[in-house]
Amino acid sequence: MKKSRFIQLTVLSTVILALPQLAQACASCGCTLSSDWESLGLSTSSGFKLDVRYDYLDQNQLRSGTGKISPQAASGIVNTGSRNPANDGPQEVEKYTKNHYVTITGDYNFNPSWGVQVQVPYIDRSHATLGTSSDGVSPADEAYESGTKNIGDIKVIGRFQGFTEQHNVGVLFGLKLPTGDHRQTGISTDPAALGDVAAIDRGLQPGTGTTDVILGVYYHDAINKDWGFFSQGVVQTALNAKDDYRPGNGLNLNGGLRYTGFAGFTPQLQLNARYVARDSGAEADTVSTGGTLVYLSPGVVVPVNKKLSAYSFVQIPIYQNVNGVQLAPRFTASVGARYSF
């Protein structure tokens, strides 16, 4: 196998946060790994690629600001002066949110300068909250449990990378479509309404109900024959509100390195920063959504043959500053494969 071909096959998932894959305005609610490096200018030949990825994200740690907080301490917080008066009063205390994501991405290069991809996520999410006015141990007002399994919001992303002969500078432009359900329900565990149907928080629904615009820029190059790097910025903002809810705007900034000197695999290391604004609207949690997070993300890509590659990443938070009180993961794990037709 020629080394240039080996590099193309083994850097399939170097970009972290290349597109805000499943991110919601809750800063820690979505997986932010992406497998788009080959699409973003490295492979300039026409053709179709199919990527299938599984992500696991267990949000089991309560955080407030930059530190951890116990459920008992969180239950003692009283919110005042929020943009949504319905959020004023005792802080909601969440128990856990476990996420399993399967994302199928089809990517097509029309020519060396133009390409497009479609991302279809399937979300399996279980969630439990103690509600408000809790003691941090027992369910109280508006407590519920839920399990959602549904298609999420589909994204259609175009790219242009014809600014240079190397095709290593590009722009992204596209839409997140309101294909995911945003009206799913759970089961109340509130002692005053035990077993009743309960509405799931809008930030935890499979879809936001909104159409979002996505814009980004990227640049990648070789340092020498074995080392390469990338940098990228992507913004996502909702164009509308739906049923009194609008997700917060998001900004992703990313950089990373890869080493291609090994014969059978390519190790990679990325640093990723993400900022998300608070949700807004009468149905939004305007207190405990949004924040700033920074991740260190080591990974490896292995070519199986000339058409198929497999990859795996672990994303480790090194800085978390969340608004209000939110559940955050200790790590995110992702595995996947890409096939070039």
Query: What is the pLDDT at residue 44?
Result: 60
Query: What is the pLDDT at residue 3?
Result: 42
Q: What is the CA radius of gyration of the chain?
A: 21
Looking at the DSSP bridge assignments, the partners of residue 132 are 141
Alpha-helical regions (H) of 212-275: none
Least confident of 36-45, 170-179, 181-190, 202-211: 36-45
How sure is the predictor about 263, in pLDDT bands with cuts at 50, 70 and 90?
Answer: confident
Find the mean pLDDT for residues 164-173: 91
pLDDT one-digit tens code per residue, 303-328: 998 889 999 999 999 999 999 999 99
Backbone angles phi, psi at 40, to 5 degrees: -85, 60
Find the mean pLDDT for residues 277-301: 94
Of the candidates 257, 291, 287, 228, the residue with the CA atom closest to the CA atom of residue 32:
291
Query: What is the pLDDT at residue 10?
Result: 36
Q: Is the pLDDT of residue 22 over 70?
A: no
Average pLDDT, the chain: 87
Find the mean pLDDT for residues 220-247: 93
Maximum mean pLDDT: which of 37-41, 173-177, 272-276:
173-177
Whole-model pTM: value is 0.87
- What percentage of the chain exceeds 90 in pLDDT? 72
- Cα separation, 35 vs 309, in Å, equals 11
How sure is the predictor about 43, in pLDDT bands with cuts at 50, 70 and 90?
Answer: low
Q: Is the pLDDT of residue 177 over 60?
A: yes
Q: Is the pLDDT of residue 250 over 50?
A: yes
How sure is the predictor about 87, in pLDDT bands with cuts at 50, 70 and 90?
Answer: confident
Find the mean pLDDT for residues 162-169: 90
Q: Is the pLDDT of residue 23 over 70?
A: no
How sure is the predictor about 88, in pLDDT bands with cuts at 50, 70 and 90?
Answer: confident
Query: What is the pLDDT at residue 286?
Result: 94
Find the mean pLDDT for residues 17-23: 41
The count of C-alpha atoms lying within 13 angstroms of the C-alpha of 161, restricted to the half-sphere facing its C-beta, is 29
Q: Is the pLDDT of residue 154 over 60?
A: yes
Find the mean pLDDT for residues 156-167: 92
Q: Is the pLDDT of residue 278 over 90?
A: yes
Sheet strands (E) in the chain: 47-65, 67-68, 78-79, 89-90, 93-109, 114-131, 144-151, 155-160, 169-176, 185-188, 197-199, 212-222, 227-238, 250-259, 266-276, 291-303, 308-340
Find the mean pLDDT for residues 326-335: 93
The count of C-alpha atoms lying within 13 angstroms of the C-alpha of 305, restricted to the half-sphere facing its C-beta, is 4
Hey, what amino acid is at 140?
A: A
Find the mean pLDDT for residues 151-171: 93
Find the mean pLDDT for residues 213-223: 93
pLDDT top residue among 189 and 18: 189
Q: Is the pLDDT of residue 138 over 80?
A: yes
- What percentage of the chain exceeds 70 in pLDDT? 87
Q: Is the pLDDT of residue 283 over 60?
A: yes
Q: Is the pLDDT of residue 169 over 50?
A: yes
Q: Is the pLDDT of residue 291 over 90?
A: yes
